[in-house]
Amino acid sequence: MSIDGDRSRRAVLKAAVALGGASALSACLDRTDDDPVPTGDPAAKPPRQHAWREYVRHDDHGNSRLPAHQVLLYLDFDVGGPPTDADRDALAASLAALDRAYAWRHEGLLHSIAYSPAYFDRFDTPLPEGIDLPEPTALSPFESPTFDRQDAVLHLASDRADAVLEADRALRGEREAANGVSVPSLTEVATVDSRRTGFVGAGLPAANQDAAGIPDSKPVPEASPLFMGFEAGFRGNQATEDYVTVDTGPFAGGTTKVIANLRQRLADWYDEQSHEERVMEMFSPGHAENGLVEGVGDNLGSSSGIDRFVDSVVDDAREHGRVGHAQKAARANRDADGNVRLLRRHFESTDDIGSDQRVASLHFPSLQRRISAFEAVRRAMNGTDLTEATPAIRQRVNNGILEYIFVRRRGNFLVPPRRHRVLPTPRPE
Amino acid sequence: MKRRELLRTGAALSGALTLAGCSSLIETRAAGVPPVPENRPDGVYYPSHVEGMEMVGTASSGDYTVGLMYSYPHRFWNVNGESVALTEIDADDAVHLMASVWDTDTEAILPDTGLSAEIYREGSLVSQEAIYPMLSQPMGFHYGANFGLDGEGEYTVRLSVGAMSTRRTGAFEGRFADPTTVEIPFEYSEAAKEDIAFRTLDDQVSTPGAVDAMAMTALPDAVAPAESALPGRVLGSATSDDARLIVTALDTPPAGVDGDGTYLAVSARTRYNRMVIPAMGLSGRLARNGEAVYDGAFERTLDPDLGYHYGAVVDDIASGDELTLSVTVQPQTARHEGYETAFGGLMGGMPDVTVAVP
């Protein structure tokens, strides 16, 4: 698909919209790679569905570069009670076909399926004691999100837009095969309740900034992997895959996954604030004072260096009348030994769930051993204690990035280990 | 001539002349807003002009009722910590939206809730913002922001109220603890907007004083209780940069305040029209024979009888004690014209004040 001038761009646009998703647009525009997509060996997949780190690109500092193109398919299974063998066979066939169609690599396809508390409610047996999977809940004193309570979510990710789109379309029954392998449609057993798409990585946010929520000044830097203009997910500020993995019981090798969707409103972020002020609100006033962040923050290397500014957050609130997003969140994102508790894998989108409008938004999957760890970090981000320390910090203003993000959706899921990925019971053997 | 240039030209001319000269060209009266008055005093003053406002509607949910009003786009001064910065009217601004949040039961205005607005037209997102708290002479405390719109027509405004983190006492204890969202339809037309009152002030401009509060039947006022209506024993009052601080003493703290002893409440209101001044940092030192018997914070608190106030528990008070109040953080609300130099503001300075216990 080549792009020459406005006419073919319009044609691409139409084609992309026909594929059924605003962000498919970026996927199509980006599709210039004619190399074949590597096919896969089902026997060569890692036992953890969330094993990405070894299979994605890394930057010069060893930070993960998440797959550029991603799709989330929210599924409701047609069966009301416990799934039957036929249901399991059908889903297993779809997933096994993906395994054959794509290598488990960033230029192939990474995929994982995760199940909600509502899914497990169909069984009489509860989940094992050690699995912390509550229903989603509001986590700030000012949000009222819609909860994603679908049965499951299937996450597809690749640096190859064509791979993600083919897999997505085959799974939804819009084509027979993906990467030359016949893929039975998920629609045999499930309904796709919601399809969400997105992208991440330098260049893509800049190319997709023609969306509501981002000012007309086209402020998103080419080098930024995200709309807000900074790198994120530094290796030193992320939990390891080992750390977030459930280590005992039938789901050993699995993890829990929270996926939120946030709308972003970046007019004031970019038009009313200097780079220094944005650094203050994204990282900490100390980062701004010491000039620690150049441009999008590549100079930070493999860590945002936030830990040295965590204890000063109340003093910063009083002295600067602002606090940083990262310094607030980090307060709850370390265990007693100083290990990071969450593994965040967020990516951008222009999806506006429920409409066809292009609106800047963020899909925020986070992996952690227990959902409660995510909830604690998210609550720390509210900075309610800081609003009490000084009136200069308000509920959403001068309080990290809360002024610019609006939570619309949240769902909690269990990512089983690969061996139990097909419609597991609460106590799989 | 582009509208933005026209606005700039208009702003450079003086009020009446601008209106006369450009009236056939301009789309809205915003272009005719007089310039910020010269020689403003450091304190509450009569602004260059007063704009009316129109009620859009009210809606109730949970503990809250929310009222939505609109007017011409306004210029205002944003306050963040010590910084006070003018926000000019943008050429794309169509309206100034204002919202007030009050307790459905008592009609007490609730500052510090936090408020955000989403504006939709035929299901399509037009805007979404966290709206800033503001103080204006006709309205007192409210939330407000200028918004651009997609022309005339039917809009839906969704207003999300945040839970209060401000301490609540008495019958307010435990209330206003949950967020809520209400939806109010808004029919926007240029003609209806142009019918909203707009008057310039003449000789009074820049002189000390304030225009009267605007009476709106559907909207509770944001006025602090009269001195005579405050519970407890009023010890005295003092004025700091036109913020009037009245100190009253209650024999016991209201429910919801930890500690035993005398409760000292400071009710802060604007000079002239008694509008509640919320969101300050306040500390106080109570001295007896030159020795401090209390030295600490006066905490932001909302009480059904005292209203919004700043309170501290001290062991006791005695005749001759001196309470020195220090504003550590100026009121963190944006200011409409006439309030931007008072209460700290553009010219800074809220000097300490002392009230002696009679």
Instruction: Dump the DSSP string for A398-425.
Output: SBTTTTTEEEEEEEEEEE--GGG-SS--
Query: Where do the domains of chain A lie?
Result: 5-420
CB pair distance less than 8 Å for B81 and A395? no
Can you tell me which residue has the tokens 């290397």?
Answer: A301
- Measured in angstroms, the CA of B137 and the nearest CA of chain A are apart by 21
CB pair distance less than 8 Å for B116 and A388? no
Q: Is B23 near chain A, with CB under 8 Å? A: no
Q: Which of B147, B141, B154 is nearest to B71 (CA)?
A: B147
Query: Which residues lie below 8 Å from residue B69, measured CB to CB, with a gap of 6+?
Result: B53, B54, B55, B56, B97, B98, B99, B100, B142, B216, B219
Query: Residue B70 forms beta bridges with which residues?
Result: B54, B97
Tokens of A339: 């290990």
DSSP B23-38: TTT-SSGGGGPPPPPS
* B80 vs A141, A398, A402: nearest CB: A398
Q: In 3-state terms, what secondary structure has residue A63?
A: coil
Q: Is B198 exposed, middle or buried (0-12, 13-18, 19+ CB in 10 A)?
A: middle
ipTM, 2 dp = 0.89
Using the predicted structure, report yes or no on whether residue A15 has a pLDDT greater than 80.
no
Tens-digit pLDDT profile for chain B (358 aa)? Answer: 333 333 333 333 333 333 333 333 333 454 578 999 999 999 999 999 999 999 999 999 999 999 999 999 999 999 999 999 999 999 999 999 999 999 999 999 999 999 999 999 999 999 999 999 999 999 999 999 999 999 999 999 999 999 999 999 999 999 999 999 999 999 999 999 999 999 999 899 999 999 999 888 889 999 999 999 999 999 999 999 999 999 999 999 999 999 999 999 999 999 999 999 999 999 999 999 999 999 999 999 999 999 999 999 999 999 999 999 999 999 999 999 999 999 999 998 899 999 999 9
Tell me the C-alpha distance between A320 and A285, whole Å.
7
CB pair distance less than 8 Å for B281 and A392? yes
Q: Which of A72, A280, A30, A293 is nearest to A159 (CA)?
A: A30
User: Considering only CB atoms, which chain A residues are within 8 Å of B300?
Assistant: 391
pLDDT class for A34, splitting at 50, 70, 90?
Answer: confident
Chosen CATH of B227-356 out of 2.60.40.2480, 3.90.180.10, 3.30.2310.20, 2.70.98.10: 2.60.40.2480
* A394 vs B82, B181, B332: nearest CB: B332
CB pair distance less than 8 Å for B116 and A212? no
Q: Is B305 near chain A, with CB under 8 Å? A: no
Q: Is A412 exposed, middle or buried (0-12, 13-18, 19+ CB in 10 A)?
A: buried
Q: Is B329 near chain A, with CB under 8 Å? A: yes
Query: Which residues lie below 8 Å from residue A82, measured CB to CB, with a gap of 6+?
Result: A122, A123, A425
The amino acid occupying position A62 is G
Size of interface A-B (CB pairs under 8 A): 82
User: Considering only CB atoms, which chain A residues are within 8 Å of B332?
Assistant: 391-392, 394
Q: In a mutagenesis test of the A interface, which of B77, B116, B160 is the best target, namely the one with the most A β-carbons within 10 Å?
A: B116
Q: Which of A342, A305, A337 is nearest to A324 (CA)?
A: A305
Tell me the C-alpha distance between B338 and B43, whole Å.
8
- How crowded is residue A188: how many other Cβ atoms within 10 Å of its Cβ? 15
pLDDT digit string (tens) for A288-299? 999 999 999 999
Determine the pLDDT at residue B6: 35
- pTM for this prediction: 0.91
Cα dist from B351 to B41, B244, B269, B329, B354, whole Å? 16, 12, 16, 12, 10
Q: Which residues of A touch B (CB under 8 A)?
A: 138, 141-144, 212-213, 263, 265, 268, 320-322, 352, 355, 357, 359, 384, 387-388, 390-392, 394-398, 402-403, 406
CB pair distance less than 8 Å for A320 and B81? yes
Quick one: closest CA in A to B331, which residue? A391
Using the predicted structure, report yes or no on whether residue A202 has a pLDDT greater than 70.
yes
Q: Indicate the DSSP class of residue A135.
A: P
Tell me the C-alpha distance between A300 and A284, whole Å.
14
Q: In a mutagenesis test of the A interface, which of B129, B141, B164, B299 is the best target, namely the one with the most A β-carbons within 10 Å?
A: B129
- Spell out the CATH class of B34-200: mainly beta
Contact B58, B97 (CB under 8 A): no
Q: Is B91 near chain A, with CB under 8 Å? A: no
* A265 vs B128, B132, B177: nearest CB: B128
- Mean pLDDT, chain A, rounded, equals 93
Determine the pLDDT at residue B349: 86
Quick one: closest CA in B to A323, which residue? B81
DSSP B150-215: SSSEEEEEEEEEPPP-SEE-GGGTT-S-S-EEEEEEEEE-HHHHHTS-EEE--TTTTSB--PPPPP
pLDDT class for A311, splitting at 50, 70, 90?
Answer: very high
User: Considering only CB atoms, which chain A residues are within 8 Å of B162?
Assistant: 141-142, 395-396
The bridge status of strand A146-147 relative to strand A405-415 is: parallel
Q: Where in chain B is the domain with CATH 2.60.40.2480?
A: 34-200, 227-356
Determine the pLDDT at residue B15: 32
Length of chain A: 429
Q: In a mutagenesis test of the B interface, which of A266, A319, A396 is the best target, namely the one with the most B β-carbons within 10 Å?
A: A396
User: Considering only CB atoms, which chain A residues are within 8 Å of B149?
Assistant: none
Using the predicted structure, report yes or no on whether residue A54 has a pLDDT greater than 80.
yes
Determine the pLDDT at residue A6: 40
Q: In 3-state terms, what secondary structure has residue B73?
A: coil
pLDDT digit string (tens) for A70-127? 999 999 999 999 999 999 999 999 999 999 999 999 999 999 999 999 999 999 999 9
Tell me the C-alpha distance between B211 and B200, whole Å.
12
Determine the pLDDT at residue A141: 96
User: Considering only CB atoms, which chain B residues are within 8 Å of A138?
Assistant: 179
Determine the pLDDT at residue A33: 62
